[in-house]
Amino acid sequence: MPKKTNDFENNILRLQEISEKISMSDISLEEASKLYEEGMKLSKMCKKYLEEKELIIEEINKN
């Protein structure tokens, strides 16, 4: 599997972990803030990856 796909899948898994941690009631505001920031960065990276794949698929469908 190409590295970018592995990165994407790892980022999705990390986003799930972050979501679970933020949902816990015993997390500090400071930790929740740091996790939120990390999650937003990962989310942007995943979105960019998906947009790139969408362009590739659109190009394939043109032919």
How far is CA 30 from its chain centroid?
A: 21
Give the three-class secondary structure for 63. Answer: coil
Helix, strand, coil % in the chain, rounded to nearest 5: 85, 0, 15
For residues 7-29, b (16+ Cβ closer than 10 Å) or e, as one string? ebeebeeebeebeeeeeeeeeee
Work out the average pLDDT over 8-16.
Answer: 97
State yes or no: pLDDT of 2 exceeds 90.
Answer: no
What average pLDDT is seen over the chain?
A: 93
**CB atoms closer than 10 angstroms to residue 53:** 13
Q: Looking at residue 5, what is its pLDDT?
A: 72
> Model's pTM, two decimal places?
0.83
Per-residue pLDDT tens over the stretch 24-53 = 989 999 999 999 999 999 999 999 999 999
